[in-house]
């Protein structure tokens, strides 16, 4: 496996964005009832990937397999498509500068290079995203050892927005609640770059992420713009609490479509 390291991280660009907090009227469809993350172990898997990287499809496929394998356990998978591959022949429609900036944060806290595919588990352990053995070992370890700080979530859909209501007892001034709008599955026929001619499948794609300081907002509501061609069964909300200094994730939860 050849890791694809396209650049060296220079000046760190702040990636933490304050989440909006407001309620919408005319909410018409319920995504989920209140969901509590409970107090057992959990695993948050963050994959940094790109449609322009020939080493990434195996990692993307592994995320789909793990999502199925651990579907009844507190394992939360988020795939961030980075944008720095876009200049090499193919623009990844799921990519964003915010996703690349998030990976840069991990390059700093983990003291690692920036490469794809990279997988980070619970904010503290990073390795090659297509390494099944390392990934499953990391999952099993944190499911046994970690303690999940309670997060309660609910979400509703209106004609234009998805509104997420959250509440947690976490009050650490160094912690933020990261709430992500996630598309469970999609695919692309690639016609340029390293994966030209390939039909790629993607899983647990992060489309937007709001980041809320818990010191000032331990409970509230944040909104996402309703995506185009939205299908309620193919989307979910994943939230987790992260220490912005150390990167450690202390709790996670998600809302499922009812």
The CATH number for 225's domain is 2.60.40.10
> Does residue 7 lie in a domain region?
no
Residues ≥6 apart with Cβ < 8 Å to 137: none
- Give residue 226's domain range: 29-255
Residue matched to tokens 């209501």 = 165
CA dihedral angle for residue 52, residue 54, residue 55, residue 58, rounded to 10 degrees: 100
Pairwise CA distance, residues 88 & 121, whole Å: 28
Q: Total structural domains in the chain?
A: 1
- Kindly provide the b/e burial profile for residues 190-218, where b requires at least 16 CB atoms within 10 angstroms of the residue's own CB: beebbbeeeebebbbbbbebbbbbbeebb
> Does residue 3 lie in a domain region?
no
Mean pLDDT, the chain, rounded, equals 87
> Does residue 230 lie in a domain region?
yes
Q: Are 114 and 101 in contact (CB under 8 A)?
A: no
Pairing verdict, β 125-128 and 118-121: antiparallel
Predicted model pTM: 0.86
> Does residue 136 lie in a domain region?
yes
CB atoms within 10 A of CB 113: 13
**pLDDT at position 6, please?**
56
Partners of 213 in beta bridges:
176
> Does residue 11 lie in a domain region?
no
How confident is the chain (258 residues) per 10-residue block, as mean pLDDT?
49 35 36 52 97 98 98 96 97 98 97 96 98 97 90 90 92 92 97 98 98 92 91 95 95 80
> Does residue 101 lie in a domain region?
yes
> Does residue 112 lie in a domain region?
yes
Q: What is the largest CA-CA distance in the chain?
A: 51
> Does residue 205 lie in a domain region?
yes
């Amino acid at each position: 496996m050849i890791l694809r390291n396209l650049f060296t991280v220079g000046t760190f660009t702040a990636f933490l964005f304050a989440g909006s907090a407001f309620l919408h009227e005319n909410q018409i469809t319920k995504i989920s009832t209140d969901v509590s993350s409970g107090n057992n172990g959990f695993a948050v898997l963050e994959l940094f990937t790109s449609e322009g990287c020939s080493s990434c499809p195996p990692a993307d496929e592994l995320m789909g397999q793990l999502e199925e394998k651990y579907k009844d356990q507190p394992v939360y998978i988020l795939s961030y498509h980075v944008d720095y591959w876009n200049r090499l022949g193919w623009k990844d429609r799921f990519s964003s500068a915010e996703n690349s900036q998030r990976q840069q944060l991990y390059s700093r806290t983990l003291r690692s290079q920036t490469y794809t595919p990279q997988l980070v588990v619970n904010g503290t352990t990073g390795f090659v995203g297509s390494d099944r053995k390392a990934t499953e070992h990391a999952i099993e370890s944190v499911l046994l050892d970690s303690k999940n700080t309670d997060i309660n979530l609910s979400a509703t859909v209106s004609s234009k927005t998805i509104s997420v209501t959250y509440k947690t007892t976490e009050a650490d001034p160094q912690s933020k609640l990261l709430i992500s709008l996630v598309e469970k599955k999609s695919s692309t026929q690639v016609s340029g770059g390293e994966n030209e001619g390939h039909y790629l499948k993607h899983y647990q794609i992060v489309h937007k992420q709001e980041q809320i300081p818990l010191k000032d907002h331990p409970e509230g509501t944040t909104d996402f713009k309703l995506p185009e061609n939205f299908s309620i069964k193919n989307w979910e909300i994943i939230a987790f609490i992260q220490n912005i200094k150390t990167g450690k994730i202390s709790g996670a939860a998600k809302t499922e479509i009812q």
